[in-house]
């Protein structure tokens, strides 16, 4: 049995128990990326295995993630100040 693209065999179905919150996050990510939940999980698992081979990449991505959080916090503060100025 192969997948739609006939490039990789499809293994038998595997039942996976996920915490409700994690499933919701993955479902939302899948919708945002126009993927099925299954495809989203596969992509994320493959990415984690790739990153496992590149510790420098993990450090870089963590730095980017930290900067993103800082940017989001600053943006929220800016929006709040801007909202107060317009009131």
pLDDT for residue 35: 92
Residue 41 and residue 26 in contact, taking contact as beta carbons nearer than 8 Å = yes
pLDDT level of residue 1 (50, 70, 90 thresholds): very low
Sorted by where each begins, the domain ranges of the chain are 1-53, 54-87
Three-state secondary structure along 27-50?
HHHHHHCCCCHHHHHHHHHHHHHH
Question: Residue 40 and residue 28: Cα distance in Å, rounded?
Answer: 10
Evaluate if residue 32 carries a pLDDT over 90: yes
pLDDT digits (tens, 9 = 90+) for 36-82: 999 999 999 998 888 888 888 878 888 998 999 999 999 999 999 88
pLDDT for residue 44: 93
What is the CATH number that goes with domain 1-53? 1.10.1220
pLDDT for residue 5: 54
């Amino acid at each position: 049995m192969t997948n739609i693209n006939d490039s990789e065999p499809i293994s038998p179905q595997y039942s996976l128990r996920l915490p409700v919150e994690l499933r919701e996050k993955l479902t939302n990510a899948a919708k945002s990326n126009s993927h099925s939940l299954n495809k989203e999980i596969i992509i994320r698992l493959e990415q984690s295995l790739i990153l496992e081979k590149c510790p420098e990449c993990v450090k870089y991505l963590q730095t980017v993630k930290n900067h993103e959080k800082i940017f989001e916090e600053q943006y929220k503060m800016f929006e709040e100040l801007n909202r107060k100025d317009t009131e």
